[in-house]
Amino acid sequence: DIQMTQSPSSLSASVGDRVTITCRASQSISNYLNWYQQKPGKAPKLLIYVASALESGVPSRFSGSGSGTDFTLTISSLQPEDFATYYCQRSYGTPLTFGGGTKVEIK
C-alpha cells in the first residue's frame, strides 16, 4: 500500500505567518492528493482536491501544489480560525490513505 507521510506533525505559528505543510507519498500518485482541515470535535472539511484545486467557499489564502510524491499545503497569512489539524489524503486507488496529520497551534 502507498504510505502518506506528513511533516511536521505539529507546528506553532502566529497570526499573519505563512505556513507550509508537506505531504509525501511512498510512490507516485500523480496529482491525486486532497487536503482537509479538522477542528477539535468537528468533522473534517475539504480544502483542496487534485493537489491544487480550491474547494468552493475556501478562502484564497489556502493553496496546494505538487505532483508525483511531494505535495505542499500553504496558508499565506494565518488567521485565528485556521488553528486546526490538517490532513492530506491520497485519492486514487484503494486504500484511500490519509496522512498522519499536522496540528497548527498558536505561538
Query: What residues line the site for other proteins (CB under 8 A)?
Result: 1, 32, 34, 36, 38, 42-46, 49-50, 55, 87, 89, 91-92, 94-101
CA end-to-end distance (rounded Å), the chain? 36
Nearer to other proteins, 25 or 89 (CB): 89
Distance from C-alpha of 55 to C-alpha of 58, rounded to nearest angstrom: 6
CA atoms of 32 and 28, how far apart (whole Å): 9
For 77, the grid coordinates are 497569512
Q: CB nearer to other proteins: give 14 or 56.
A: 56
CB of 21 to other proteins, least distance (A): 14
- For the CB of residue 53, give the shortest distance to other proteins in the complex, in Å: 10
